[in-house]
Amino acid sequence: MTDFEALLRLLARARVEFIIVGGAAATVHGSSRLTQDLDIVYRRSTENLHQLAEALSPYHPYLRGAPVGLPFRLDAETLQRGLNFTLVTDLGDLDLLGEIAGGGNFEALLGHAQPVEVYGAQCYVLGLERLIEVKRAAGRPKDFEAIAELEKILEARESG
Amino acid sequence: MARSKITLPPDPVIEAYKKAVDVTLLQENLRLTVEERFSKLMAMQKFAEELRRAGKKLREAP
């Protein structure tokens, strides 16, 4: 199980700059669908890479699905060399995304994000409209039901 | 900070999927706070894991 509360508190406490996207963002907006992991788009500044790596390292981040024993250490250098990381941690599954298809990077998404307080943690979540656009742009059949639900939520919101 | 209004035109595939959306579940969820939505999500995950564990045990039974 992914402990969303602990992960969000941890990242916020460490002052990591990130935007909640994916299924967790859909949950914030009211989706009733089950999601297994926390997807975040993180700012790729040097300071943020250090903060992110330091915050996660006590929780044994490891590449999800990688063979046991594969050498992997999540530090700022590793983050700098890569872009998107699908991780398993002691707190659950966490996807660190440097950018997302159809949405771009942290800076590109920030203007479409909303501040939200979750479990006392101040975070940003991708706005509902942009979340729909990004999921549509990805064009994955597995997202069709999720997009339909998000558009229903948007319609409900707009009709008051 | 977030822009309003969706800018994409209606997609016929998504429109077809919309007919199957359980609006009662949505209404129930929209009444919850964000924390309550995450708590519900974690409870669903826990339940799904328990069902998977039970199913595995069932399949392994002689």
The domain locations on chain A are 4-159
Asked if B41 lies within 8 A of A27 by C-beta distance, the reply is yes
Task: Please write the tens of the pLDDT for every residue from A65-94.
Answer: 888 888 999 999 999 999 999 999 999 999
The span from the CA of A116 to the CA of A136, in Å, is 24
**Do B49 and A128 count as a contact with CB atoms less than 8 A apart?**
no
What is the DSSP code (8-state) at residue B9? Answer: P
Residues A17, A97: Cα–Cα separation, whole Å = 12
Q: Does domain A4-159 have CATH number 3.30.460.40?
A: yes
User: Which among A4, A111, A132 has the least Cβ separation from residue B1?
Assistant: A111
**Single pTM value for the model:** 0.91
Q: Which pLDDT value is given to residue B2? A: 52
Are A152 and B25 inside 8 Å of each other by CB? no
A136 contact residues in B (CB cutoff 8 A): 8, 11, 14
Chain B CA closest to residue A131: B6
Round to whole Å and give the CA distance between A135 and B30.
21
Angle at which helices A46-56 and A4-13 pack, to 10 degrees? Answer: 130
pLDDT of residue B1: 53
| pLDDT tens sequence across B1-59 | 554 455 678 899 999 999 999 999 999 999 999 999 999 999 999 998 898 998 898 89
Q: Which residues of A touch B33 (CB under 8 A)?
A: none
* Nearest chain A residue to B49, by CA: A1
Across the interface, whether the CB atoms of B21 and A148 are under 8 A apart is answered yes
A70 to chain B, any CB pair closer than 8 A? The answer is: no
Residue A89: phi, psi to the nearest 5?
A: -135, 175
A95 residue type, one letter = D
Helix B34-60 crosses helix A22-29 at what angle (to 10 degrees)?
A: 130
